[in-house]
Chains A and B, each alone.
Chain A
């Protein structure tokens, strides 16, 4: 194994090759249906299941034992699990039990009121081996912030991947960064940001990437705390239960020294003054010099700080931006992200395609329409051309309809019919999944607005002493050469100097050679 000091590295950061007990796994039931599960080790029956803990889905039942110690991404077959008799009060026919193995459970339930004895039985008896079902499967995926965001228990509005991926890119969340996140909410941004800043768990005194998260709501805080512990993120996410408008962003009185900030708060402008480099001056309480000395900025004093605020309403944005301008933030930029998912499918249009779901049985092109119309017309003419004196008008119409139907039938039935495409298709044996035109189409419902993202940068402090030191270190006045936009005159001058230099070199060399020649001659 690789030398890691911790053996409980978060599955979000290093999930290993195989699934492990007590670890988070994400079950993919269908394309967009993901379900988080903490895999239980096989210790006797649970909840009355003979196989231990079981996940029941509409795609079948999946005992945890079948999902343990398998490679990530494995396809798991459903198992035959007796879900019916569990917890039922009597009334169960043992003949109904699909597998013989379940008879014992079923029988025991007949005698006793609930399933507790069944569990007792399992404690002593070995765990029941899961039996594969004939159909149904799921995939077991390793947890990543993306799948977690899709499957997490919602507590608040979730910051989805299109937003957080852009935000983390813009606020320069990199390995080793410290991030302040206010409004942990459901934790989707927390998980994404911890992955971005992670560069090892802290061991010893050195600085490592870390997320400083603040949550105001007590219940959410406790749930989040539990979640972080379950996910092995304890040392790299510092969660605090606090109202940041008043409590500020310091942790244990110390500065988080953050260089990136993400505010998902209803009123970011109230928290912004606390993210200054110096003590913010409130109008009714002019800051004294003493206060100034004691006040600690939560920002990294050596770097520019990048911020993003996340607000759904434009009024919030206006206030936030106004506050940012007054507090000295620069490069203020507001964007909103529009994300679209595209579904690919095969669009099948044609008269001679089978009547499958999603097939449009109308002519595929003008030629096909033309062929069909001409055919109908021919048959109609044949029909009317027949000597039929005594037939009435309406009967005529009826039989015409019949004829059309007959024509259709014959067309489909006869392989050597007039319709060329059908023949081609049959001969080439096109698979049904390759028929039709490949198209992309947006998902039926799109998120047109998530929130407005306001980005800004707060440069570091720069005092007169700093400037003096820099000026002493890099003195001016010894400039040689010009870089950047060189105007025509300067370019010409440069060229002239270069040429002159070359020429003088050449002259010098010639002179040297001449001298040598002269020496040789002498």
Chain B
């Protein structure tokens, strides 16, 4: 992914001012960078990422500015000059208050003369504006002429500054940097991957939308959740259910096929899901992957059936399984979901032409390498996934790997499925004759409802079957309540990683697993659990004294991380003076334990404490 800028790709444009603009690069449009100028989008489509482009002056016979790739020797010209200067340990250039990446030193022909100005003491520093002889109108005029990508403006500004020779080298460099940020007509194109996107969303957009999830936290949560590629795509066999078959014809649950599945609670509008999907290799659309020569078993099939653009049927990896000969992806079926679709009626019994259409009860979801998102509202909020071309509300979705690997269900469907209408209402049935008599729109609705029923039933049943490989959370809900219901669904040894912008909820959660609590629980002297069977304790509903079964998690730990950024310049290396504050971000980690049955005592001298747990304070003697 991300080797070249593709048409209609989302990209981030980094401007000299340090701000970032996120755009979808539509072909045959003009991209406007505000005061930095405009250029045709086609000049960056098909070009590589990470180059720094400069808007060059319009040629006399052309109506648009062309772009020039700025070589790095030019970008770092000032630094090189500093390094070459004798005794570069003394500050000879500019003092930046930004990162090295943003300095992007600009070489001015006249600066060589001024660069040799002997550093003066700060006493002589004077107010910048007072000594600028160019009036605002004149500057505007220069900008309109806009020659040489803004360098002329800056050079003129410097030249007409009367007190330039009185500046220290630090203040001179600062002045230059300030002016280049304002007038240099340069930009850099970055790909929208999770790291870049999260950075932009955090620092320039709405950080509260992603719960202040910083890069350090994304890394930690992903690693401690042990989120990784969970196996090649594996689809269940199409049950070939006819329209008069009811729920009995649904694909039965096959628990032994389920693996590499992660349980996710995401209140970051989908950023967490995107980060996990990236780690599992299901975020970026297939054609990009194919272009990169990666094989996930999806590429071969796309050529077989170019008309519908389905993602997979008989990929190389999948065909290993005994079931997969007839396994059908039903992206195309989903496409027929639109009620007015005329394609719907011909399905089901008679596979038409070479490509048989999947039946209503075919399950489009992979059994492996999936993300199961639990959401508190009736629909999940995964709006940020739009930046990667996935829209979970679209009924008619073009191929995307997340279609087969992202399962969503509400807490109601998980905990009380009988109350959920779409789960508990048995599917409609109709004989082929009845069906033929209906209007196309009614037929479409009929099929759509049956498909929805089969999908929801599959999602709910597989989720309730448990054995998840891990739990990853970034939620505004109380983590104790999440963990209470999620823990029984985790496989033994599965990691739990919960992010919170503040430490308090995580501390309360960790306290549920404190040593005194656990010792009391296992000592066998807690009246409320005395009559409960060992199996039922896994589903312990919680009370005030024991909000959770304290033996179900091991290695409970809370941590926080912060990256401190430095500027590295010859003779001027130091940490940045200011950085983003706000929520620090904390991660709770633990592993799902399978406690031994019965009373378990630790080795060591803990006897006294155990006594206390039963007979509180009063027994103390002086």
A: residues with CB less than 8 A from B are 1-5, 13-15, 17, 28, 31-32, 58-60, 70-78, 134-137, 139-142, 144-146, 161-162, 164-170, 172, 174-176, 192, 195-196, 198-200, 204, 206-209, 302-304, 314, 317-318, 321-322, 325-326, 328-346, 352-356, 405, 408-409, 412, 415, 422, 425-426, 429-434, 438-440, 452, 454, 457, 459-460, 462, 467, 469-471, 473-487, 490
Contacts and interface: CB of A to CB of B under 8 A. Distances in A.
Interface string B578-611: 0000000010010111111000111110000000
Nearest to A206: B295
Contacts of A192: 223
Going nearest first, the 5 A-B pairs with the smallest beta carbon separation are A72-B493, A175-B281, A73-B492, A73-B493, A165-B219
Interface residues of B, number: 138
Nearest to A139: B554
Given A174-B281, A341-B557, A73 B26 contact: no
Contacts, number: 382
Contacts of B156: none
- Among A343, A433, A470, the one with the most B-chain Cβ atoms within 10 Å of its Cβ is A433
B253 interface: no
A499 to B, nearest CB: 21
Contact of B216 (A134, A139, A337, A483): A337
A124 B231 CA distance: 43
A486 B34 CA distance: 6
A77 B596 contact: yes
A317 to B, nearest CB: 6
**B26, B317, B494: residue with the most chain A Cβ atoms closer than 10 Å:** B317
Contact of A134 (B83, B566, B601): B601
Given A169-B215, A332-B100, A354-B612, A341 B558 contact: yes
Nearest to B517: A433
A337 B562 contact: yes
Given A332-B101, A426-B616, A474-B42, A304 B49 contact: yes
B21 interface: yes
B411 interface: no
B577 interface: no
A75 B596 contact: yes
A346 B511 contact: yes
Nearest to A140: B493
Nearest to A320: B568
Given A172-B195, A175-B229, A474 B45 contact: yes
B526 to A, nearest CB: 9
A215 to B, nearest CB: 23
Contacts of A475: 42
B403 interface: no
B385 interface: no
A73 B494 contact: yes
A481 B30 contact: yes
Contacts of B603: 58-60, 78, 135-136
B292 interface: yes
A342 B586 contact: yes
A432 B602 contact: no
Contacts of B503: 342, 440
Interface string B464-497: 0001000000000000000000000001111100
A344 B520 contact: no
A479 B63 CA distance: 11
A431 B32 contact: no
Given A169-B195, A175-B281, A484-B21, A318 B568 contact: yes
A335 B511 CA distance: 33
A450 to B, nearest CB: 11
B493 A174 contact: no
B573 A314 contact: yes
B231 A14 contact: yes
B537 interface: no
Interface of B: 2-3, 7, 13, 21, 23-34, 38, 40-43, 45-52, 63-64, 69, 71-72, 75-76, 79-80, 83, 99-101, 188, 193-195, 215-216, 218-220, 222-224, 226, 228-232, 234, 256-257, 259-260, 278-281, 289, 292-296, 316-317, 320-322, 367-368, 467, 491-495, 503, 507-508, 510-511, 514, 516-517, 520, 545, 551, 554-568, 570, 573, 586, 589, 591-596, 600-604, 612-613, 616-620, 622
A74 B492 contact: yes
A16 to B, nearest CB: 9
Contact of B613 (A172, A432, A454): A432
A318 B617 contact: no
B3 A200 contact: no
A297 B52 CA distance: 23
A200 B234 CA distance: 13
A439 B506 CA distance: 11
B507 A438 contact: yes
Given A334-B568, A459-B48, A487 B32 contact: yes
A141 B591 contact: yes
B21 A317 contact: no
B293 A207 contact: yes
Nearest to A354: B620
Contact of B568 (A317, A353, A415, A430): A317
Given A355-B620, A431-B616, A474-B27, 15 more contacts: A28-B555, A135-B601, A144-B226, A169-B194, A204-B316, A337-B563, A431-B520, A438-B508, A459-B48, A459-B51, A462-B51, A477-B63, A483-B30, A484-B23, A485-B33
Contacts of A409: 622
Nearest to A460: B48
B100 A166 contact: no
Contacts of B229: 13, 175, 198-200, 209
Contacts of B230: 14
B219 A168 contact: yes
Given A165-B219, A485-B34, A322 B570 contact: yes
Given A321-B100, A482-B32, A75 B593 contact: yes
Contacts of A470: 45-47
A204 to B, nearest CB: 8
B254 to A, nearest CB: 10
B322 A3 contact: yes
A2 B323 CA distance: 11
B530 to A, nearest CB: 16
Contact of B219 (A166, A304, A469, A471): A166
A457 B50 contact: yes
B622 A166 contact: no
B95 to A, nearest CB: 17
Nearest to A9: B231
A454 B317 CA distance: 38
